[in-house]
Amino acid sequence: MANLVGAKIERKEDKKFLTGKGRYTADINLSKQTYAYFVRSPHARAKIIKVDHSKAMKAPGVIDVFTGDSVVKDKIGGLICGWKIVSQDGKDMKCPPHPVLAKDSVNFVGDHIAVVVAETLEQAKNAAELVNVSYKVQKSVTRTDEATKFENIHEGIDNNLSFDFLLGDKGKTDEAFSKADKIVKVDIVNNRLIPNAMEPRAAIGDYNASSDELTLYTASQNPHLDRLIMSAFNAVHPEHKFRIVSPDVGGGFGSKINVYAEDVVIAYASKKIGRPVKWVAERSESFMSDNHGRDHVTHAELALNSDSKITGLKVDTIANLGAYSLVLAAVTPTYLYAPLLLGIYDIPAACCTVKGVYTNTAPTDAYRGAGRPEATYVIERIVTEAAKEIGMDQAEFRKKNFIKKFPHQQCLVHNIDSGDYDAHLDKAIELSDYKNFENRRSQSAKKGKLRGIGFSTYFEACGVAPSAVVMSIGSGVGLWESAEVRFNATGNVSVFTGAHSHGQSHDTTFAQIVGDKLGVAIENIDIVHGDTDKGPFGMGTYGSRSLAVGGTAIVKACDKIIAKGKKVAAKMLDGKPEDIDFKAGEFILKNSNKKKTIGEIAFACYLPGTFGDVNSPLPEGVEPGLIETSFFDPSNFSFPSGSHICEVEVDEETGETKLVKYTVVDDFGTVINPLIVEGQVYGGVAQGVGQALYENAHYDKSGQLTSASYMDYTMPRADNFPHIALDYTCTPATSNPLGAKGCGEAGTIAAPAAVMNAVIDAVGTDVQMPATAEKVWKALKKNGSKKAAA
Amino acid sequence: MISINIKINGKKISKEIPDNILLSEFLRDNLSLTGTHVGCDTSQCGTCVVHLNGNSVKSCTTFVADCDGAEVTTIEGIANNGKMHPMQEAFKKHHGLQCGFCTPGMVMSAVDLLKKNKNPSEQEIRDWLEGNICRCTGYQGIVAAVKDAASKM
């Protein structure tokens, strides 16, 4: 059998999606189903005086209305922050109460107040308009840089400051700056984004009063974790009687990690009324109530010596948490951000502060890359400015400061096991034809266009994560992953993974790994995920962890299958287990022509009767069946890296920026399926380009979200991109046996800096994201461009 | 309520329907053709694209009441006797889909493009698909798939 790992294999999951047979939560309809519609706050901040739902209760088709009083009465717990950060004064971060239905106050437009359950969706919507909420509207704050100066929006949280985080050695860094020959400074706004998975969130609660079992269908990236949180903290239903199913999920990008109020309320409502309750978000609800991402304001300084070497880095960031702290809200702008600020440079001293602030906006949390795009943007912008200020070539300056030897202990947190940064930069320079850039710039100038080039040489810490490490810095859970490999008696294989695929192609990638390990044809391997009733507890998919952590758990379970198979084969072949080799699906007795296929061994394990001249194939002490489970906890993060080079053309008259050339060379360690990995990179780059040029969540002064539809929030579309050129280098990861580093977030992490460095190179002056035509035109005007000034 | 006669994926259907029902709702809720998706509320995302009398339309802003006598083809109706349409095959070959949510609308738009322009350039493909948003693929696999399908159809 040819190697499956490394082959461009078409996806097993494609046919159902291509023929309209995908089964997303909204596609599910249950007998006696009812429909839910949420009453949400139209105000950014207000006290709730009264929620009067008496008229709604009498409206046609209405079954029940649940409010903040209902959930308090039934002791349903509020939403949680799953990773607590400690401030530099040693105090725990401050988290305001976050009820699933607001009772006393609302803190952002879209905050959830009540839910109406009716026989039809139309009836639920109509009745929701009859829920009369009396508010005392208060002043609100939405801007990140104004939060600490505004009155307290939550009682007892002074200056709206959740935490004041410090990472690094301040004394050593100050010393590096005092001796610096050159100090480079940048001010950066990392714009607020809305994840916008194409499938809006949805949930169906289905309570069975006879068995006391509660099933929740929900579009989630981590159904087991949802169940744990909803049992332990929200007290919706005991874990052993609670099943969560995340069927086909139409994209996540971090926005489907959280347990949302709607999940809890829909599950609760189904229990209360004893019938299935269905809720599907409208897109405007998704814009308002999905977790948002990014939203930082940062000042950064870089110290250089006279030899053009970086000697220190100082970063001060204010991160907008929104109105409440969600599950990963606090870790995203701290531990997922600050250590990554060092980039792939050998920087001996660094310190970073992060103030996490509350505002009257939708809560922020992980969005593809989660902290790492923000960090990469800071370091890649400041490195670019540094090279410019000292008059050095962008590639040369980077190479001069790259980490060269591995493993490398960075001065903040990470110990990078492997990499070769010159290799991917050299390859990207070659592939992008960097040497002829100035010719292309002249060609563009002849057409009246300003051409610019931008570099982004990034790394990321993914494969999250070693449990002991993350739990020591505030994580509420370990971040191992599980797998169960179940040989069926007829020789095919069911593989249960705790990871979840919502576009990542696990059905194919994991099957390739198992196929190679066990010598089973890929079509005889089924990857099962997304149902807490199937397979062991698992942590889900985010942080580019599925392959490095979940894939490794599968490898380890396969190893156990092989070890057991050897014992059985030894008995059947009349040898010793240590004399059995396993290769390409066959157990072979050394120095003989005696062998058994793995299918025969599986059959014997399930039917341990008489086989030929062997009485029972099972040696003493070996149990029947061929099922093995593994829980893998990695020893370290994995560290993909790469080089992106972007070229843009800016129209001097209109300020419009067009992406004209984009080159990517990544080091993901071992690549299982290049077709799938390329797709992850192209998609990631598109989201990064979206942040740089188009996307921006905007709240007006009264706290209204003015970018709550696809007519107001600019999504990147097919005509925004040129063909992206892509290649790889490979230094395998040492923290997992696959050598895999992870690829899901890389594009989104690297692209914003590459694009903005190119825009700023073209324009000749600073521009903040997103570089819309209006902003670029104004920058050109300020910079004295003749045409823009005319 | 009004009565309509409509042909969906080759099958004649006569029904009494409320006059405000949208084609996307009719397909999904009345006929269980859930391959047609709804991804927005402003007719922008394109996940609901079907063919109405041979032209791609956004079914989320089409009243069934306006479709009397019409022929509608959905993603469920383009395979031929279980054999996928060349566009579906090309999307598979070029990894033109990841989560699959935008895919039905994207495929239906792309099939319509090739009816109107048998050999589109890369830019023409990108311009045509401007009304279909994909958050996963960065469009590169989709564009490659449409080019490849054009060479085979």
pLDDT tens per residue across span B28-77: 999 999 999 999 999 999 999 999 999 999 999 999 999 999 999 999 99
User: Any chain A CB within 8 A of the CB of B58?
Assistant: no
Which sign, positive or negative, has the C-alpha torsion A282, A288, A291, A293?
positive
Beta carbons within 10 angstroms of residue A45's beta carbon? 26
At residue A790, the pLDDT reads 52
Query: Is residue A739 a contact partner of residue A677, using CB atoms and an 8 Å limit?
Result: no
Query: What are the backbone angles phi and psi of residue A25, rounded to the nearest 5°?
Result: -55, -40
At residue A789, the pLDDT reads 52
Q: Which residue in A23, A675, A686 is closest to B95 by CB distance?
A: A675
User: Any chain A CB within 8 A of the CB of B36?
Assistant: yes
User: Any chain A CB within 8 A of the CB of B31?
Assistant: no
- Residues near A62 by beta carbon (within 8 Å), at least 6 away in sequence: A56, A116, A117, A118, A123, A124, A127
Altogether, the residues listed in chain A come to a count of 790
* CA-based nearest residue in chain B for residue A720: B126
Q: How many Å separate Cα A666 from the centre of its chain?
A: 19
CB contacts of B133 in chain A (<8 Å) are 198, 710, 715, 717
Q: Measured between CA atoms, how close is B66 to chain A, in angstroms? A: 21
User: Any chain A CB within 8 A of the CB of B125?
Assistant: yes
The angle formed by the CA atoms of residues A266, A270 and A276, to the nearest 5 degrees, is 100
Residue contact A710–B129, C-beta within 8 A: no
Residue contact A284–B41, C-beta within 8 A: yes
Relative to beta strand A310-322, strand A242-245 is unpaired
User: Any chain A CB within 8 A of the CB of B120?
Assistant: no
- Residues near A491 by beta carbon (within 8 Å), at least 6 away in sequence: A520, A524, A598, A599, A602, A603
The angle formed by the CA atoms of residues A360, A363 and A368, to the nearest 5 degrees, is 140
DSSP string, A303-365: EE-TTS-EEEEEEEEEEEEESS--TTTTTTTTTTTGGGGGTTB--S-EEEEEEEEE-SSPPB-
Partnered with residue A645 across adjacent β-strands are A455, A663
Query: Is residue A4 a contact partner of residue A512, using CB atoms and an 8 Å limit?
Result: yes
Domain ranges, ordered by start, for chain A: 14-138+198-251+256-289, 293-464+636-789, 480-632
DSSP string, B96-152: --SS-SSHHHHHHHHHHHHHH-SS--HHHHHHHGGGS--SSSTTHHHHHHHHHHHHH
Q: Measured between CA atoms, how close is B89 to chain A, in angstroms? A: 9
pLDDT tens per residue across span A193-244: 999 999 999 999 999 999 999 999 999 999 999 999 999 999 999 999 999 9
User: Any chain A CB within 8 A of the CB of B61?
Assistant: no
In one letter, which amino acid is A301?
E
Average the pLDDT over A2-18 and give the result: 95
Calculate Rg over the CA atoms of chain B: 15
For residue A393, the 8-state DSSP code is -
Residue contact B44–A710, C-beta within 8 A: yes
Closest by Cα among A727, A697, A738, A708 to A293? A697
Label residue A7 exposed, middle or buried (CB < 10 Å: 0-12, 13-18, 19+): middle
Q: Measured between CA atoms, how close is A145 to chain B, in angstroms? A: 30
Q: What tokens does B103 get?
A: 């895919």
- Residues near A434 by beta carbon (within 8 Å), at least 6 away in sequence: A395, A453, A645
For residue A198, the 8-state DSSP code is S
Same CATH fold assignment for domains A14-138+198-251+256-289 and A480-632: no
pLDDT tens per residue across span A318-345: 999 999 999 999 999 999 999 999 999 9
Average the pLDDT over A74-93 and give the result: 97
Q: Which residue in B28, B75, B138 is closest to A19 by CB distance?
A: B75
- The answer for A 675-694 residues in CB contact with B (under 8 A) is 675-676, 678-687
User: Any chain A CB within 8 A of the CB of B146?
Assistant: no
Confidence bin at A785 (pLDDT 50/70/90): confident
Residue contact B92–A685, C-beta within 8 A: no
At residue A2, the pLDDT reads 62
User: Any chain B CB within 8 A of the CB of A247?
Assistant: no
User: Any chain B CB within 8 A of the CB of A196?
Assistant: yes
Please state, for a pLDDT cut of 70, what percent of chain A lies above it. 98
CB contacts of B140 in chain A (<8 Å) are 678-679, 682, 721, 723-724
At residue A787, the pLDDT reads 61
Q: How far apart are CA A81 and CA A327, in angstroms?
A: 4
Selected for mutation to probe chain B from A10, A11, A15, A17 (highest B CB count within 10 Å) is A17
User: Any chain B CB within 8 A of the CB of A198?
Assistant: yes
The angle formed by the CA atoms of residues B78, B81 and B83, to the nearest 5 degrees, is 70
User: Any chain B CB within 8 A of the CB of A284?
Assistant: yes
User: Long-range contacts of range B116-124, CB-CB < 8 Å, 24 or more positions apart?
Assistant: B118/B150, B118/B153, B119/B150, B120/B146, B120/B147, B120/B150, B122/A723, B122/B147, B123/A719
Query: What are the backbone angles phi and psi of residue A40, rounded to the nearest 5°?
Result: -120, 160
Q: Which residue in B36, B79, B99 is closest to A19 by CB distance?
A: B79
At residue A786, the pLDDT reads 60
Query: Is residue A202 a contact partner of residue A24, using CB atoms and an 8 Å limit?
Result: yes
Q: How far apart are CA A386 and CA A304, in angstroms?
A: 8
For residue A740, the 8-state DSSP code is B
CB contacts of A685 in chain B (<8 Å) are 138
User: Any chain A CB within 8 A of the CB of B104?
Assistant: yes
User: Any chain A CB within 8 A of the CB of B35?
Assistant: yes
Label residue A146 exposed, middle or buried (CB < 10 Å: 0-12, 13-18, 19+): middle
Closest by Cα among A762, A621, A745 to A253? A745
At residue A612, the pLDDT reads 65
CB contacts of B28 in chain A (<8 Å) are 27
In one letter, which amino acid is A576?
K
Secondary structure of residue A730 in the 3-state scheme: coil
Is the pLDDT reported for residue A507 higher than 80? yes
For residue A93, the 8-state DSSP code is P
Closest by Cα among B42, B41, B37, B9 to B24? B37
Q: How far apart are CA A582 and CA A568, in angstroms?
A: 12
Calculate Rg over the CA atoms of chain A: 28
Partnered with residue A353 across adjacent β-strands are A166, A316
Element housing A46 (H / E): strand A46-52
User: Any chain B CB within 8 A of the CB of A660?
Assistant: no
Residue contact A687–B134, C-beta within 8 A: no
pLDDT tens per residue across span A549-577: 999 999 999 999 999 999 999 999 999 99
Is the pLDDT reported for residue A165 higher than 80? yes
Query: Is residue A65 a contact partner of residue A57, using CB atoms and an 8 Å limit?
Result: yes
How many CA atoms, within 13 angstroms, populate the side-chain half-sphere of residue B21?
A: 23
Closest by Cα among A729, A767, A758, A759 to A746? A729
CB contacts of B42 in chain A (<8 Å) are 283, 709-711
- The answer for A 707-746 residues in CB contact with B (under 8 A) is 709-711, 715, 717-719, 721, 723-724
CB contacts of B38 in chain A (<8 Å) are 26
Q: How far apart are CA B144 and CA B148, in angstroms?
A: 6
Residue contact A18–B92, C-beta within 8 A: yes
Average the pLDDT over A441-451 and give the result: 97
Average the pLDDT over A173-194 and give the result: 98
CATH class, range A14-138+198-251+256-289: alpha beta
Note whether ipTM > 0.95 here.
Answer: yes
Average the pLDDT over A405-426 and give the result: 98
Q: How far apart are CA B93 and CA A117, in angstroms?
A: 44
Q: How far apart are CA A376 and CA A753, in angstroms?
A: 7
Residue contact A14–B44, C-beta within 8 A: no
User: Any chain B CB within 8 A of the CB of A11?
Assistant: yes
Q: How far apart are CA A754 and CA A757, in angstroms?
A: 5
User: Any chain A CB within 8 A of the CB of B59?
Assistant: no
Q: How far apart are CA B120 and CA B114, in angstroms?
A: 7
- The answer for A 395-454 residues in CB contact with B (under 8 A) is none
The CATH fold of domain A480-632: Aldehyde Oxidoreductase; domain 4 (3.30.365)
CB contacts of A506 in chain B (<8 Å) are none
- Give yes or no for a cis peptide into A569 (omega within 30° of 0): no
- The alpha helices in A48-106, defined as continuous H runs, are 54-58, 68-73
Q: Measured between CA atoms, how close is B17 to chain A, in angstroms? A: 15
Label residue A420 exposed, middle or buried (CB < 10 Å: 0-12, 13-18, 19+): middle
CB contacts of A709 in chain B (<8 Å) are 40-42, 44
Label residue A367 exposed, middle or buried (CB < 10 Å: 0-12, 13-18, 19+): buried
Helix axes A674-689, B140-152, angle to 10 degrees: 120
Average pLDDT score, chain A: 96
Q: How far apart are CA A498 and CA B3, in angstroms?
A: 49
CB contacts of A672 in chain B (<8 Å) are none
Query: What are the backbone angles phi and psi of residue A742, rounded to the nearest 5°?
Result: 105, 140
Sheet containing strand A595-597, strands side by side:
A580-583, A586-589, A595-597
Size of interface A-B (CB pairs under 8 A): 177
At residue A783, the pLDDT reads 82
In chain B, the domains with their CATH numbers are 2-77 (3.10.20.30), 86-152 (1.10.150.120)
Please state, for a pLDDT cut of 90, what percent of chain A lies above it. 97
Residue contact B141–A682, C-beta within 8 A: yes
Element housing A777 (H / E): helix A773-782
Query: Is residue A203 a contact partner of residue A218, using CB atoms and an 8 Å limit?
Result: yes
The CATH fold of domain A293-464+636-789: Aldehyde Oxidoreductase; domain 4 (3.30.365)
Average the pLDDT over A464-484 and give the result: 93
DSSP string, A214-272: EEEEE--S-HHHHHHHHHHTS-SS-GGGEEEE--B----TTTTSSPPHHHHHHHHHHHH
Q: What tokens does B70 get?
A: 């019409």
Q: How far apart are CA A20 and CA A34, in angstroms?
A: 25
- The answer for A 465-504 residues in CB contact with B (under 8 A) is 502-504
Average the pLDDT over A377-396 and give the result: 98
CB contacts of B142 in chain A (<8 Å) are 718
Q: How far apart are CA A18 and CA A747, in angstroms?
A: 25
